[in-house]
Structure formats: structure tokens, C-alpha cells
Structure 1
């Protein structure tokens, strides 16, 4: 089994969750890849680019893959699981289901229209600690990745905070409702999940049968 971690939107492999999970894998002497989904050019980020990038990280078949994805990385992981039979397990941390429907209204209609007209919008990048331009192509591309497409019965564990202020837990509850192969664990946390990393690790170990 090969493990790959996908960080969230405007984040990096140096995020608290990525570092925590990477350290825990190291302690049990298991390898986990944590690619940089910014790929050196955050301004041209799209979900399609993330899918292509991660698929290149897959080992030669028939080695199975487990994806652990956070937020937008969780959404990307779910679509990779739909497209590639090699993906055998998914662990989704506060997956960004309905990402555009939650995020764009927070920007406001005027800001979104300006983004569409000017092609780029400055977005605060937590990994870089500064604002960076992001192409409107990100939005156009993201509209092609709807949850209705995710119908492959792949072994899936979702861990989502009940106080999530970015992607409401209702998004994961809705996803699970029509997919009996998905398990949802609701945690007493927010979108960052920073206070429940030990609970998350125990759930990952149990689900992935790690020592």
C-alpha cells in the first residue's frame, strides 16, 4: 500500500496537519508522500491540475493507493478515487464538498464579477503567508467536479468537525446519506481540526490497519 497526503487550498506540505500526519507516519516507519499542490505556480491552480499531478505520483500497478486529503485536497482525493481503480481507500478530512457554493458567496457577487472580468483575484495563501493571484480558470474548472459524479463504492472514511465554519458538516452528512460505503466521524472541532489530531490519527490507524 502506498500513502499520499493532499493538503488543502492555499496551503502547503508545511501545514500543521500535513506535518503532524507526516511525523506520525515516520514514527511507525511508514512512508507517505506529501506533494506540493501549488506546483510552483498557485496562480494557475485547478482541480484538474491537482488530479493530473497526483496521478503521476501513483506507483506502478498493481500497488494499491490510500489517499488522505484535507479540505480541497479531500475533494480532489474523492475524484481521484472515482477515476482510478488503483485508489483503494480514502481518508477525507473536512472534504470541500460544494466548495464553490460555500466559498463564492463569502466573496460576494461584486468580487466574483470583478474576478471574472479581470481574470485574477488576490487570495491569501496560508502556506506562503501572503496574498497571491489566482486565475478565474480555477472557478471554471471546479464547476466540472460535482459530488453527483462520485459513485464508485470505494472504502471511505470522512472526519469532519461539527463547528466547521468553512465547509459545514452538513456537506459531509449529505454525501454519506446516499453512499453506504462511506463512514462519517463527527468531531468536536472546526475546519482546521487542530485540537483533534490524536483522534484523527487513531481513526486513520484503525481504518487503514496501521500499527
Structure 2
């Protein structure tokens, strides 16, 4: 089994969650790939680019893959599972289902219109600790990745905080409700899930049958 971790939007392989899970895999002597989904050019980020980048990490010998994705990385992982039969298991941490419908209203109608007109908007990048311009192509591309297309019965574990202020837990509840192959674990935490990482690890170990 190949294990790959997908970090979230405006994040990096050096995020607290990525480091925490990476350390835990290291301790059980199991390899975990954590690609940098910024690919050196956050400004031109799209979900399509992320999917292509992660798929390129898959081994050529049809080794099965478990994807662990956080937030937008979780959404990307879910769509990778839809497109590539090598993906046999998904672990989604606060997956960004309905990402645009949650994010764009917070920006406001006028700001989104300005973004569309000017082609770029400044977005604070937590990995870089600075604001970076992001192309409006991100929005155009993301609009095609809707949950209604995710219908393959891939064993899926979702861990989501009940106090999530970025992606409301209702998004994961709605997703799991009509998909019998999805297990949703609700946690008493926020979007970062930083205070429940030990709980998360125990559930992941069980689900993935890790040592």
C-alpha cells in the first residue's frame, strides 16, 4: 500500500497536521509521501493541477493507494479516487466539500467581481506566511468538482470538527448521508483539528490497519 498526504489550500507539507501525521508514520516505519501541492506556483493553483500532480506520484505497478487529504486536499483526494482505480482508501480531514459556496460569500460579491475582472486576488498563504496573488482560473476550475459526481464506493473515513468555522460539518454530514461506504467521525474541534490529533491518529490506524 502506498500512502500519500495532501495538504490544504494555501498550506504546505510543513503544516502542523502534515508534520504530525508524517511523524506518526515515521514512528511505525511506514512511508508517507507529502507532495507540495503549491508546485512552486501557488498563483496558478487549480484542483485539476493538484489531481495531475498527485496521480504522478502513484507507482507504475498498480500498487494500491491510500490518500489522506486535509480540507482542499481532502476534496482533491475524493476526486482522485473517482478517477483512478489505484485509490483503494480515502481518509478525509475536514474535507472542503462545497468549497466555493463557503469561501466566495465570505469574500463578498463585489470582491469576487473584482477578482474576475482583474484576474488575480491576494490570498494569505499560511505556508509562506505572506499574501500571494491567486488567479481567477482557480474558481473556474473548482466549479466543475462537485460532490454529486463522487459516486464510487471507495472505503472512506471522514474526520470533521463540529466547531469547524471554515467548512461546516453539515457538508460532511450531507456527503456521508447518502453514501453507505463513508464513515463520518465527528470531533469536538475546529477546522484545524490541532487539539484532537491523537484521537485522529488512533481512528486512522484502525481504519487503515496500520501497525
TM-score (norm 1): 1.00
Alignment of 1:28-177 (within 5 A): 28-177=28-177
Structure 2 CA distance for aligned equivalents of residues 6 and 170 of structure 1? 22
Q: Contact conserved, 1:162 with 1:187, CA < 8 A, in 2? A: yes
Q: Moved runs in structure 1, 4+ residues, more than 3 A?
A: none
Structure 2 CA distance for aligned equivalents of residues 12 and 63 of structure 1? 26
Secondary structure of residue in 2 paired with 1:8: coil
Q: How many residues align?
A: 211
Q: Contact conserved, 1:61 with 1:86, CA < 8 A, in 2? A: no
Q: CA deviation at 1:60?
A: 1.6
> Does residue 1:194 correspond to 2:194, yes or no?
yes
Structure 1 CA distance for aligned equivalents of residues 159 and 144 of structure 2? 25
Structure 1 CA distance for aligned equivalents of residues 143 and 94 of structure 2? 19
Give per-residue Cα distances to partners, 1:51-89, cap 9 Å, x unaligned.
000000001232100000000000000000000000000
Question: Which sections of structure 2, spanning at least 5 residues, go unmatched?
Answer: none
Question: Which sections of structure 1, spanning at least 5 residues, go unmatched?
Answer: none
Give per-residue Cα distances to partners, 1:119-151, cap 9 Å, x unaligned.
000000000000000000000000010000000
Name the stretch that deviates more: 57-66 or 96-105: 57-66
In structure 2, the residue matched to 1:11 is 11
Q: CA deviation at 1:91?
A: 0.1
User: Superposition RMSD on alpha carbons, in Å?
Assistant: 0.4
Secondary structure of residue in 1 paired with 2:60: coil
In structure 2, the residue matched to 1:2 is 2
Give per-residue Cα distances to partners, 1:81-101, cap 9 Å, x unaligned.
000000000000000000000
Secondary structure of residue in 2 paired with 1:54: helix
Give per-residue Cα distances to partners, 1:16-54, cap 9 Å, x unaligned.
000000000000000000000000000000000000000
Q: CA deviation at 1:190?
A: 0.1
Secondary structure of residue in 1 paired with 2:61: coil
